[in-house]
């Protein structure tokens, strides 16, 4: 298998990566690029496959976890709803175990509580995020939750 085919494989993997954004196909593309360089020097398919396999596995095992931890394609504040846990909020409507609305920072969220009902306008703290619902509770005595 010649180097142009490995280069095509790398390009296809890069295109697939743009749709998945999971850093898996970009690691395979890296393995294919390394193999492209090796294929220029040798026409031995067995060596090319071994190089592709080793390079891809090493990239997936070592570079991918680093990339997932340090590179946030969507931005640091988007998609990280778990950062709301422990933050103060204010109830906009009464919140009970089934429904309610709260304001967390500048955002309005659907909310519920695991305890008793909480009246509108009360200061609360986000206990956890359950899908698209903030589970809230009254702040402990040493906490305060002012919200504008």
**% of the chain beyond a pLDDT of 90:** 57
Q: Which of 47-51, 63-67, 76-80 has the highest mean pLDDT?
A: 47-51
pLDDT of residue 27 exceeding 80, the answer is: yes
CA distance 115 to 102: 16
DSSP code of 138?
P
Q: What is the CATH number of domain 81-137?
A: 2.40.50.140
Q: Name residues whose C-beta falls within 8 Å of residue 85's C-beta, 6 or more positions apart in sequence.
A: 126, 127, 128, 129
* Residue ranges of domains in the chain: 3-70, 81-137
Between 124 and 73, where is the model more confident?
124
Give pTM, 2 decimals.
Answer: 0.51
DSSP code of 129?
E
Q: What is the pLDDT of residue 13?
A: 94
Q: What is the pLDDT of residue 115?
A: 83
Between vectors from CA 79 to CA 78 and to CA 82, what angle results, nearest 5°? 115
- When pLDDT is averaged across residues 58-87 and rounded to a whole number, the result is 76
Residue pLDDT, tens place only, 33-56: 999 999 999 889 999 999 999 999
- Three-state SS at 14: helix
Q: What is the pLDDT of residue 75?
A: 52
Q: What is the pLDDT of residue 20?
A: 85
At 126, give phi and psi (nearest 5°).
Answer: -75, 120
pLDDT of residue 124 exceeding 60, the answer is: yes
Q: What is the pLDDT of residue 73?
A: 55
Under the banding of pLDDT at 50, 70 and 90, the label for residue 105 is confident
Parallel, antiparallel or unpaired: strands 101-104 and 123-130: unpaired
CA distance 55 to 129: 39
Q: Is 6 exposed, middle or buried (0-12, 13-18, 19+ CB in 10 A)?
A: buried
**DSSP secondary structure of 19-81:** HH-SSSHHHHHHHHHHHHHHHHH---HHHHHHHHHHHHHHIIIIIHHHHHHH--TT-SSTT-G
């Amino acid at each position: 298998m010649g180097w142009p085919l490995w280069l095509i494989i790398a390009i296809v993997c890069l295109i697939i990566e743009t749709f998945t954004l999971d850093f898996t196909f970009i690691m395979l593309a890296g393995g294919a690029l390394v193999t492209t360089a090796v294929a220029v020097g040798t026409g031995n398919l067995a060596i090319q496959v071994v190089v592709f396999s080793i390079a891809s596995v090493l990239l997936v095992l070592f570079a991918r976890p680093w990339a997932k931890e340090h590179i946030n394609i969507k931005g640091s504040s988007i998609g990280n709803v778990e950062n709301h846990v422990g933050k103060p909020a204010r109830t906009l409507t009464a919140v009970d175990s089934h429904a309610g609305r709260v304001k967390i920072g500048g955002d309005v969220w659907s909310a519920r509580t695991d305890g008793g009902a909480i009246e509108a306008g009360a200061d609360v703290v986000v206990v956890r995020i359950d899908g698209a619902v903030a589970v809230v509770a009254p702040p402990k005595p040493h906490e305060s939750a002012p919200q504008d």
